[in-house]
Amino acid sequence: MEASNGSAASRAGDWRKYERVLLPPIRDLHRLDVYEQHGGYRSLRSVLTSGDWTPASVTDAVKASGLRGRGGAGFVTGMKWSFMPPPEPGKARYLCCNGDESEPGTFKDRQLMEYNPHLILEGMLIASFAMSITTAYLYVRGEFADWIVHMERQLEKLYEKGYVGDNILGSDFSCDIVIHKGAGAYICGEETSLMESLEGKRAYPRAKPPFPAQHGCWGMPTTINNVETLACAPLIVERGAEWFAGMGAEKHPGPVLYGISGHINRPGVYEYPTGMLIKDLIYEVAGGMRGGKKLKALVPGGASVPVLRADMIDGVTMDSDSLRKAGSMMGTAGMLVLDEDTDMVSFLRRITHFYHHETCGQCTPCREGTGWIENLVTRIDEGEGNLRDLDILLELCDQMEGRTVCALADAAAWPVRNTINRFRDEFEAKCKPAVHATGPYAMAE
Amino acid sequence: MPILTIDGVAYEYEGRAKLLQLCLNLGIELPHFCYHPAMSIPANCRQCLVEIGQPVVDRETRKPKVDESGNPVIQFFPKLMTSCSVDVTDGMVVRTHRSSELVDRAQEDNLEFLLINHPLDCPICDQAGHCPLQIQAYKYGPEGSRFEFRKVHKPKRIQLGPRVMLDAERCINCTRCTRFTDEISRSHQLSIIERGVRNYPMTPPGVVFDEPYSMNVIDICPVGALTSIDFRFQARVWECSQTPSITITNAKGSNCYYWVRDNLILNVTPRQNDQVNGYWLPDEDRQGYTVFNYDRPKGPTIDGRLASWDGAQARAAELLAGAAGEEMLFIGSAYATVEDNFLLGRLAAALGAGAPVYIPHVEEGAGDDWLVTDDKTPNAEGCRRLGIMPVDESVVRARVRSGGVKLLYVLEEDPVAAGLLTSDDLRDAVVILHHYHDTNQTLPQARVAFPAAMVVETIGTYVSQDGHAQRVRPAKAIRGINRTLAMEMNRSRQDQHGTPFDRWHNEENQVDCRPSWDILPGIATRLGHELAYRGPRYVMQELARTNPAFEGATYQAMRMRGVRLADIGAEV
């Protein structure tokens, strides 16, 4: 497979000359003094003290930038911010930064927390200003223990220097940041489940409506954004909405962290504009297929999104429109690259195990369906499955999707449906051969 | 009025309502599990899914869009919606399983999911016969099972507390029980633990599920996950009849059903009454039913020997004739009905005795703000409204001990056990007693004793401490024939003496007792006084007419759920 020449259908522009802004190559950027030396908190200062910005103008800039959520759903961030009702005196408002990164194949937020945590914190403050929020929570999955410790230390320094707390940088704006540890549940990445967990309750997702902007944490207006999404806010303030909107794919612009893993030579997190050709990412950025093997399949956005066969990725770029047309989704841009030796049945089995393990159990289709699906795929993987099981699996996907409180059931159904449909031969080959009845029960010839 | 269309039929409705509750009110059944009208709406069982559409409003003109035929354009939500959580709006169009194949499939699919890990316990599960999962699986569920794996196993028959048994495998995680302890009883003693398909309800570490309202979760649990330790394996529900009545453990008058098989009370469950007890009963109300079944007297006695009813009534009349009115003391009872007490008062008046008094049984501090009262009798308020006042203990003792009481007539009470009088005090007096149990401590002193019908065997009125007058119906047959009781039992139970499956007709379980409103006229007639009423209904009719404290309190007004006397103008 050859790489492209970088023009053709790529929407990422001249990506080879791209200079990183989310994860710039600056040593020790995680330390406050280094961050400040390199222009850190300048955006915040500008927003709060220059007189050039109001909460509404910050939101407008984010809207104009075209930033879309980087947590998987890809909702237009500026629009989400504008859902917050006007502030009411005495009524609390909250921001939750969703650092519960648990989508399989996704490890980009963790990079930000390790290498550029101040960008996240600055983004949280700017977002809080935009939405007149005075308490912001950073919900981090408990497994990121080291980075939580580090960020808490940095947060203390921020309080000391007046970047967080009362009258930030001498302005009228006061905001507290609280870092909250998760405790090992994928479901807490779901925004309403995150709020339940934050409130100290069992992390069952809530029915929507009402939406968090109307009825969020403790019933108060709340916005939840992904870590990477909020990290873009200081960049938009500093370099302008047009800069952001002009980078990468038209309808899904900006810098994005591609988390590439699997059977490639150089797995890792790579920052480039959106709209990169998948082929460029695999063969140029990630060093090509390991051992010179052929590409078999690619899951472009984390385990929940539909898998693409190698013959489906020609000319496909990493942005939501292109991926949707190709039959998948942008998700978290966590790319799982699978080579020709991959057993797709075994791959799907591991994914179904994940959803079975992570379902919260609140609603019937997901609680029961994910386990049944894992049982069926496992049985096929072990050579004991029947052809009929494939039909049942596809029906179960229909029985789960769209019928539940949250989207975990959908996320569990999509890989099953698409992996079976797109690699049907492999699944059939692993099933037991169909047995035809003989004697009086045989079908007439 | 706003209009809602369900399966092509238009319904007018008033006010705000959730779609499921409105459908249930209209008699349109929609399957559901987790919804309960008294608690929050979690919408987690996903059984009540329906197709919902709303009229499209043009964003510019703000007017409803119409199509060529002039009908409003309806836009259906892209996904099926849970009817329990959706607010009904004007012009809403709903398709249930009756008119939508998608919804029909969704009902079936959801039940399939519920059944895959549900244990095949029906043959040994108490819930069988009144199990919403059974019923809805039968009506809307899949044909057979295609699940070929090992079901998830969880703890079985765990005592959550002294009265409630948990079978975690049967649980469908509807969270009704945890919501009850969080929202209704506020004990917070139940929570769901574990994650995913390993979920089940449990108490927090170190906590026992012993709150005084714990047994309510048994009724609201839609499967056999939470069952009564006491009632476990006692009877199948289809073998039992249920009679609507009230509990008599205290003065709240909580409404209940008495479950009877073979003429024994086997279980007590709540009956909905929004004015009295809502959907709930305290555990103490449910536990007291053994008093109806055991230690009951064998029959009327004269001087301790079994006698006939005629003989006993004649002897009682003789004894009454032999004393002067001023030398008689009549003791009424806050355990007895208004009708019983009223007739006692009439007899006392006819004989020239003073008005009866009653013995209060009040335990200070025993009650709570809800369904448990300090007063442990069901009809103290009824007595007071009849002019039967709490006994002045010192006065009565003085009277009795000084020999001023030659004859003591006790209605459905036990003055010795109550500590009012000692057996010694009564040695020289003539005692005529109506009693419930042969363990009655006054019984050894009684010259004539009549077994009296208890609340489950009689028809009568009780007035709660809130002034709510309710009348009860017989659940348990007495041995003799009483036309009034028999006719009422025909109406209040599924058939004459039990369900078609109550195959036991054991005379032993029929107590040879009679309601006091039947005993007293028999005695009065022999003394030349008429207490003739055609039945307790007519007693209340007269009371409603003549006693301002009971104005309007007829059986017709009381119907099934009683009537608040203050609301119908009865003066206190």
Which pLDDT belongs to residue B509? 93
One domain, residues A158 and A71: yes
Question: How high is the mean pLDDT of chain B?
Answer: 94
Token representation of residue B183:
């929202």
Would you tell me how many other CB atoms lie within 10 Å of the CB of residue A51? Answer: 7
Q: Give mean pLDDT, residues A201-205.
A: 95
One domain, residues A44 and A99: yes
Question: Is the CB of B116 less than 8 angstroms away from the CB of A372?
Answer: yes
User: Do the Cβ atoms of A320 and A329 come closer than 8 Å?
Assistant: yes
One domain, residues A88 and A134: yes
**What is B238-291's CATH topology?**
N-terminal domain of TfIIb (2.20.25)
CATH class of B301-568: alpha beta
CATH number of the structural domain spanning residue A407: 1.20.1440.230
B150-157 LR contacts (CB < 8 Å, sep 24+):
B151/B116, B151/B117, B151/B118, B151/B119, B152/A371, B152/B117, B152/B197, B152/B198, B154/B198, B154/B200, B155/B200
Question: CA–CA separation, A70 vs A359, rounded Å?
Answer: 22
For residue A179, pLDDT beyond 50? yes
Asked if residue A281 is part of any domain, the answer here is: yes
One domain, residues A253 and A402: no
Nearest Cα to Cα of residue A8 among A280, A354, A402, A321: A280
Residue B173 touches chain A, beta carbons under 8 Å: yes
Which chain B residues are closer than 8 Å to A405 by Cβ?
Answer: 43-44, 46
Asked if residue A437 is part of any domain, the answer here is: no
CATH number of the structural domain spanning residue A45: 3.40.50.11540
Q: Confidence class of residue A188 from pLDDT cuts 50, 70 and 90?
A: very high
A22-31: pLDDT as tens digits: 999 999 999 9
User: Do the Cβ atoms of A329 and A323 come closer than 8 Å?
Assistant: yes
How far from each other are the two terminal CA atoms of chain B, in whole angstroms?
41
* Chain B interface test: which of A188, A363, A375 (most B C-beta within 10 Å): A363
**Chain A closest CA to B261's CA: distance in Å?**
37
Measured CA distances, B502 to A279, B236, B497 (Å): 77, 10, 8
Question: Is the CB of B114 less than 8 angstroms away from the CB of A392?
Answer: no
Instruction: Report the CATH architecture of B3-110.
Output: Roll (3.10)
Question: CA–CA separation, A182 vs A184, rounded Å?
Answer: 6
A132-162: pLDDT as tens digits: 999 999 999 999 999 999 999 999 999 999 9
Per cent of chain A over pLDDT 90 is 93
How far from each other are the two terminal CA atoms of chain A, in whole angstroms?
48
For residue A324, pLDDT beyond 80? yes
Which pLDDT belongs to residue B481? 86
**Chain A closest CA to B98's CA: distance in Å?**
19
Which pLDDT belongs to residue A438? 62
Q: Confidence class of residue A6 from pLDDT cuts 50, 70 and 90?
A: very low
Token representation of residue A114:
């390790």
Residue B52 touches chain A, beta carbons under 8 Å: no
Q: Confidence class of residue A443 from pLDDT cuts 50, 70 and 90?
A: low
CB within 8 Å of A331: residues ≥ 6 apart: A72, A74, A103, A300, A301, A302, A304, A305
User: Do the Cβ atoms of A420 and A390 come closer than 8 Å?
Assistant: yes
One domain, residues A82 and A202: yes
CB within 8 Å of B449: residues ≥ 6 apart: B297, B300, B301, B312, B432, B433, B434, B435, B443
Phi, psi for residue B449 in degrees, rounded to 5: -130, 135
One domain, residues A67 and A163: yes
The whole-model pTM stands at 0.93
Residue ranges in chain B whose pLDDT is less than 70: 493-499, 503-504
One domain, residues A262 and A230: no
Asked if residue A435 is part of any domain, the answer here is: no
Asked if residue A226 is part of any domain, the answer here is: yes
- Of B85, B146, B196, Cβ closest to residue A367: B196
For residue A439, pLDDT beyond 70? no
Residue where a domain terminates, one of A193, A225, A245: A245
Question: Is the CB of A371 less than 8 angstroms away from the CB of B117?
Answer: yes
**Chain A closest CA to B80's CA: distance in Å?**
7
Which chain A residues are closer than 8 Å to B223 by Cβ?
Answer: none
Question: Is the CB of B197 less than 8 angstroms away from the CB of A370?
Answer: yes
For chain B, give every domain's residue range. Answer: 3-110, 149-228, 238-291, 301-568
3-state secondary structure chain A: CCCCCCCCCCCCCCHHHCCCCCCCCCCCCCCHHHHHHCCCCHHHHHHHHCCCCCHHHHHHHHHHHCCECCCCCCCEHHHHHHCCCCCCCCCCCEEEEEECCCCCCCCHHHHHHHHCHHHHHHHHHHHHHHCCCCEEEEEECCCCHHHHHHHHHHHHHHHHHCCCECCHHHCCCCEEEEEEECCCCHHHHCHHHHHHHHCCCCCCCCCCCCCCCCCCHHHCCEEEEEHHHHHHHHHHHHHCHHHHHCCEECCEECEEEEEEEECECCCEEEEEECCCEHHHHHHHHCCCEHHHCCEEEEEECECCCCCEEHHHCCCCECCHHHHHHHCCCCCCCEEEEEECCCCHHHHHHHHHHHHHHHCCCCCHHHHHHHHHHHHHHHHHHCCCCCHHHHHHHHHHHHHHCCCCCCCHHHHHHHHHHHHHHHCHHHHHHHCCCCCCCCHHHCCCC
- Of B44, B106, B198, Cβ closest to residue A363: B44
Residue where a domain terminates, one of A339, A354, A384: A339
Would you tell me how many other CB atoms lie within 10 Å of the CB of residue B2? Answer: 13
Residue B102 touches chain A, beta carbons under 8 Å: no
One domain, residues A49 and A126: yes
Which pLDDT belongs to residue A11? 87
For residue A4, pLDDT beyond 70? no
Question: Is the CB of A364 less than 8 angstroms away from the CB of B79?
Answer: no
Helix A145-161 vs helix A108-115: crossing angle, to nearest 10: 40
For residue A444, pLDDT beyond 70? no
For residue A445, pLDDT beyond 70? no
One domain, residues A331 and A367: no
User: Do the Cβ atoms of B36 and B18 come closer than 8 Å?
Assistant: no
Which chain A residues are closer than 8 Å to B34 by Cβ?
Answer: none
Which pLDDT belongs to residue B495? 46
Exposure of B548 in the CB half-sphere (CA atoms within 13 A): 2
Asked if residue A6 is part of any domain, the answer here is: no
3-state secondary structure A30-77: CCHHHHHHCCCCHHHHHHHHCCCCCHHHHHHHHHHHCCECCCCCCCEH
- Of B44, B113, B198, Cβ closest to residue A405: B44
Question: Is the CB of A363 less than 8 angstroms away from the CB of B45?
Answer: yes
Which chain B residues are closer than 8 Å to A185 by Cβ?
Answer: 195
Question: How high is the mean pLDDT of chain A?
Answer: 94
- Of B82, B117, B191, Cβ closest to residue A368: B117
**What is B149-228's CATH topology?**
Alpha-Beta Plaits (3.30.70)
Question: Is the CB of A403 less than 8 angstroms away from the CB of B47?
Answer: no
Residue A134 touches chain B, beta carbons under 8 Å: no
Specify burial of residue B168 (Cβ count, 10 A radius: 0-12, 13-18, 19+).
Answer: buried
Residue where a domain terminates, one of A318, A339, A360: A339
Asked if residue A442 is part of any domain, the answer here is: no
Q: Confidence class of residue A259 from pLDDT cuts 50, 70 and 90?
A: very high
One domain, residues A423 and A379: yes
The whole domain housing A371 covers: 344-430
Q: Write out residues 132-171 of B within 8 Å (CB-CB) of A.
A: 146-147, 149, 152
Residue B80 touches chain A, beta carbons under 8 Å: yes
Nearest Cα to Cα of residue B442 among B313, B318, B333, B323: B333
Indicate the number of domains in chain A: 3
CB within 8 Å of A56: residues ≥ 6 apart: A130
Question: Is the CB of B79 less than 8 angstroms away from the CB of A402?
Answer: yes
Residue A399 touches chain B, beta carbons under 8 Å: yes
One domain, residues A71 and A143: yes
A13-52: pLDDT as tens digits: 899 999 999 999 999 999 999 999 999 999 999 999 999 9
Q: Give mean pLDDT, residues A377-396.
A: 96
**Chain B closest CA to A357's CA: distance in Å?**
7
Question: CA–CA separation, B159 vs A420, rounded Å?
Answer: 45
One domain, residues A266 and A377: no
* Chain A interface test: which of B195, B198, B202 (most A C-beta within 10 Å): B195
Which pLDDT belongs to residue B59? 86
